[in-house]
Chains A and B, each alone.
Chain A
Amino acid sequence: MKNNKNTINIDLKQYSMIIILVVVYLLFALITKGMNMTPASVNNLVMQNSYVVILAVGMLLCVLTGNVDLSVGSTVAVSGAAAGIAIVDMGLPSPVAIVLGLLVGLGFGLFNGFFIAYVGIPPFITTLATMLMGRGLTYTVLAAQTKGPLPNDYNFLGSGFLPSIKIAGNMELICIIVAIAVSALVVFNELKDIATRKKYGFPGHPMWQLGIKDAVILVIVWFFMIRLGQNRGLPVVLILMAILVGLYHYITSQTVAGRQIYAMGGNAKAAQLSGIDTKKVFFWVYTNMGVLAGLAGVVLSSRNASATPKAGDAFEMDAIASCYIGGAATAGGIGTVIGAVVGAFIMGTLNIGMTLMGLGTDAQKIVKGAVLLGAVTFDLVSKRKK
């Protein structure tokens, strides 16, 4: 084996879920004769998935500690209901309603975090309890009725688009600008990375492999942006999602707080003896999850233009499944934000693909279950081989 100066091959396993996502997407394109690639379908993929992505990002942190949060679906419902009541019954302006929705989420998060971290109740039990309480609370405050319709300025968050500027071929200018900006960013980051490696003499990957990796990313970005541009432009939730994903990716990979979550999930005792306040970590992970669930609740109600008591039903399962499909370990300490997002998109792709094939939600659930089991089995078996 030749190991010429300081290069290591890219480990394909690291990108296996992205490859699976692409394969699944192309497979459905074949089955539905390209119907899942139409501008409207691509737009749907983004918009229908937005709350799952928001939840999956927060859920990943819980999963990293080796636990889950079962209460997020109920929190979504309660915070949506709170915003709905604020607007419809109390006549408060939309921004206030949004803040209220987030505060309700924060409340749930603090409640969970307190019992888990400082009373020592296992997260599964604590959040099972708040899941039941939250759902009951939603039905009570909404009197089992749907609250709506909600005003347009509120709905903008979940179903709005950035202002339209059309250019040639019915294309939204903003999408092209974003695509160019992202491309520049990807290339810039790669160059910066290479420069750092050179400067410190860290081993890097061969240039041609980096090239392929970046090319794939850029193709995906441009495909999405062009399709969205042919539709109605850039959805507001996509921007929200991008900011959240970027932020949490940064937190988990580049900050002390993120590292502490990984250390605690990998070995809580060792983390404690290394000076990490594991209770504090637990507390903030669950509080954060509450806030994100609140946000997802606001986004969902604004997309539906109403708050319903059934909202967010079983969302916790979608979020948890996304994390595991994205390569997180049930024991904790392993998983990435990007993985969870890819997991969420794999499920979204399946949903839309099957809907376009004419399969009902019942059949979709069977397939989703099978995919979850399959993904984790694949992950486990491929690790065992080593």
Chain B
Amino acid sequence: MSEYILEMKHITKEFTAVKALDDVNLQVRPGEIMALCGENGAGKSTLMNVLSGTYGYGTYSGDIVYNGETCQFHSLRDSEAKGIVIIHQELALSPYLSIAENVFLGNEQVKMKGVIDWNVTRAKAGELLKQVGLGDENVNTPVIQLGTGKQQLVEIAKALGKKCDLLILDEPTASLNDEESMGLLMLMKELQKQGITQIIISHKLNEISFVADAITVIRDGHTIETMHKDVDYSLDTPESYKKLEDRIIKSMVGRELTNRYPKRHGITIGKEPIFEVKNWNVYHPELTDKKVINNVNLSVRPGEVVGLAGLMGAGRTELAMSIFGRSYGSNISGEVYINGKAVNTHTVAAAIDSKLAYVSEDRKTYGLVLIDSIEFNMTLAAMSKYFSKNGILNRNEEKLKSEEYRKRINVKCNNIEQVVGSLSGGNQQKVVLAKWMLTQPDVLILDEPTRGIDVGAKYEIYEVINELAASGKAVIVISSDMQEIIGTCDRTYVLNEGEICGELSGDEITQENIMGCIMTHNNRKGAAS
């Protein structure tokens, strides 16, 4: 028996003219948790797709040695037969089927050929749920009624329902909040005790360092280095942790990012607020007696970057979308002022006219028309106002401006006619940003502007935020990443359960203080009820 449960040797995978993987090597020892990191587009997911047989044998070159045996996987089924299970970033659950049905999706428990044994299915599903800490859930509940965090756990239960010796998790915590993420990481450690080898792909360095026994960094389709815990790095002191983090970042981006948040120079924050929201109340769109936002007041001055911090489900996106053209909620009341004047934001078009812009959280669903070009997307929101006259488009102006913004915010692409769906996440996010910058807003609300994008692209987006603030605009940043709020904002509001529970500025903005605001608020609410 060799030292490794899995060895991927000299893997090279080409897509039309592009080498996604170039001589990649990966070695995983039995029972360890291996973290795979790298920027978006570095080739992590491609590598895992090669391993799981999604890109079948013959479409790549190199060898996969698993349990001492050279394997040729032609499909997902082949790799699963060997006990390799992959959980993709986009969950593969069928929303209206029950938990039990989903757990055994593709692996149905049958009495005789093709007839499902419901008793066994439910009983076994129940056991698996206990194993992943979902013992309280009813196995007959449709998964759509579960939160993302729990759905992720159902996926893991599904994996455990199969023969699973090597579990691959592709960015499992990307859409989870801190608490849920922690739960998931603890579960990974639990599974490790049961002897399951795991590979985790993640951008979140704190999670990686917490959970992993070894870290492999991939950049531009090459393996850069593999580090083993207690051999190559330790986590005994905060300094050693910082050292590891710097090393990973350096390997990932190929250069040293001395500061993950660019410094801001020469910005003068105005005195009078440019943007104010007063007495804002919003009810749930369907459950119309449920108050989602309760009496929110906030203001932003020109040149200021203000955060909206809070846990997932605190109501930040709901607040932003209800302000922006009443795109969320019902029975909305309150006033919005821009430059001291009460403005109408009843429709999105009116909000845009009032110089308000909202960069949505989920760029693929709400931000972009993926099948259309960069140019098409960049000019979409500003089309009526700046790129047309009497309803006739000015196509030349569109081209010129898109080209200008492509250069200005450094969108990596062949040309502006490229379809946005083919861009990496970071570049897609830049296109969304450009789209809203082109509406020439006074106030920009950025909802999770850097979610799921890599360190390099993040830095560039922070630079754009600074540039916008420097030009006297008001920027509101909604982020679940507290470091990001701390790194980018002059001031932040803390939201909890639809209410503003605190306001911090300057050095007061720390992770402890933000959490403190939330805790106090929770206690107060708990005491009141």
A266 within 8 A of B: yes
Are A273 and B347 in contact, with the CB atoms below 8 A? no
Contacts of B392 in A (CB 8 A): 254-256
Cβ-closest chain B residue relative to A272: B348
Are B358 and A273 in contact, with the CB atoms below 8 A? yes
- The residue that A202 contacts in the complex, of B347, B366, B370, B399, with Cβ under 8 A, is B399
Q: List which B291-343 residues lie within 8 A (CB) of chain A.
A: 324-325, 327
Contact with A along B382-419 (1 / 0, CB 8 A): 01100010011101100110000000000000010000
B365 within 8 A of A: yes
A386 within 8 A of B: yes
Contacts of B383 in A (CB 8 A): 256, 259
Contact with A along B364-390 (1 / 0, CB 8 A): 011111111000100011011000100
Contact with B along A248-274 (1 / 0, CB 8 A): 000000111101001100110111111
Docked pose: A316 CA to B372 CA in angstroms: 28
Are B360 and A273 in contact, with the CB atoms below 8 A? yes
Docked pose: A276 CA to B377 CA in angstroms: 13
Dominant secondary structure at the B interface: mixed
- Taking residues whose C-beta sits less than 8 angstroms from the other chain, chain A's interface range is 20 to 34
A361 within 8 A of B: no
Are B16 and A386 in contact, with the CB atoms below 8 A? yes
Docked pose: A386 CA to B351 CA in angstroms: 40
- The residue that A275 contacts in the complex, of B369, B384, B396, with Cβ under 8 A, is B384
Contacts of A266 in B (CB 8 A): 369-372
Are A275 and B366 in contact, with the CB atoms below 8 A? no
Cβ-closest chain B residue relative to A8: B415
- The residue that A273 contacts in the complex, of B366, B376, B384, with Cβ under 8 A, is B366
Shortest B403–chain A CB gap in Å is 9
Contacts of A275 in B (CB 8 A): 325, 347-349, 351-352, 381, 384
B222 within 8 A of A: no
A179 within 8 A of B: no
Instruction: With A272-B348, A277-B349 as known contacts, state yes or no: A333 contacts B371, CB within 8 Å.
Output: yes
Shortest B471–chain A CB gap in Å is 22
A200 within 8 A of B: yes
Instruction: With A263-B372, A269-B365, A269-B366 as known contacts, state yes or no: A274 contacts B381, CB within 8 Å.
Output: yes
A203 within 8 A of B: yes
Instruction: With A255-B391, A255-B392, A277-B349 as known contacts, state yes or no: A270 contacts B327, CB within 8 Å.
Output: no
- Taking residues whose C-beta sits less than 8 angstroms from the other chain, chain B's interface range is 20 to 34
Docked pose: A140 CA to B356 CA in angstroms: 55
Interface Cβ pair total, 8 Å cutoff: 83
Cβ-closest chain A residue relative to B17: A1
Contacts of B349 in A (CB 8 A): 275-277
Q: List which A332-356 residues lie within 8 A (CB) of chain B.
A: 333-334
B473 within 8 A of A: no
Docked pose: A66 CA to B272 CA in angstroms: 47
A196 within 8 A of B: yes
Instruction: With A256-B388, A274-B348, A386-B16 as known contacts, state yes or no: A200 contacts B396, CB within 8 Å.
Output: yes
Q: List which A261-299 residues lie within 8 A (CB) of chain B.
A: 262-263, 266-267, 269-277
Are B372 and A262 in contact, with the CB atoms below 8 A? yes
B44 within 8 A of A: no
Shortest A273–chain B CB gap in Å is 5
- The residue that B435 contacts in the complex, of A256, A274, A334, with Cβ under 8 A, is A274
Are A273 and B367 in contact, with the CB atoms below 8 A? yes
Docked pose: A202 CA to B368 CA in angstroms: 24
Cβ-closest chain B residue relative to A202: B399
Contacts of A273 in B (CB 8 A): 324-325, 327, 348, 358, 360, 366-367
Docked pose: A67 CA to B244 CA in angstroms: 54
Contacts of B371 in A (CB 8 A): 266, 329, 333-334
- The residue that B391 contacts in the complex, of A200, A256, A263, A386, with Cβ under 8 A, is A256
Contacts of A203 in B (CB 8 A): 415
Contact with A along B130-144 (1 / 0, CB 8 A): 000000000000000
Shortest B323–chain A CB gap in Å is 13
Shortest B484–chain A CB gap in Å is 22
Docked pose: A246 CA to B376 CA in angstroms: 22
Contact with B along A199-236 (1 / 0, CB 8 A): 01011000000000000000000000000000000000
Are B396 and A270 in contact, with the CB atoms below 8 A? no
Are A256 and B348 in contact, with the CB atoms below 8 A? no
Contacts of B376 in A (CB 8 A): 259, 262-263
Shortest A189–chain B CB gap in Å is 14
Instruction: With A256-B393, A263-B372, A263-B380 as known contacts, state yes or no: A272 contacts B352, CB within 8 Å.
Output: no
Are A270 and B347 in contact, with the CB atoms below 8 A? no
Contacts of A267 in B (CB 8 A): 365, 368-370
Instruction: With A200-B400, A272-B327, A386-B16 as known contacts, state yes or no: A263 contacts B348, CB within 8 Å.
Output: no
Shortest B205–chain A CB gap in Å is 31
Contacts of B327 in A (CB 8 A): 272-273
Shortest A54–chain B CB gap in Å is 23
Docked pose: A177 CA to B218 CA in angstroms: 67
Given contacts A266-B372, A272-B348, A274-B381, 7 further A-B contacts (CB under 8 A): A256-B393, A262-B376, A263-B376, A266-B370, A270-B368, A270-B369, A271-B380
| Pairs A-B, 10 closest by C-beta atoms | A266-B369, A275-B349, A274-B381, A275-B348, A267-B369, A274-B380, A275-B352, A256-B388, A256-B391, A266-B371
8 contacts between A and B (CB under 8 A): A202-B399, A255-B393, A259-B380, A262-B369, A263-B372, A267-B365, A270-B360, A275-B325
Q: Which residues of A contact B (CB under 8 A)?
A: 196, 200, 202-203, 254-257, 259, 262-263, 266-267, 269-277, 329, 333-334, 386
Q: Which residues of B contact A (CB under 8 A)?
A: 16, 324-325, 327, 347-349, 351-352, 358, 360, 365-372, 376, 380-381, 383-384, 388, 391-393, 395-396, 399-400, 415, 435
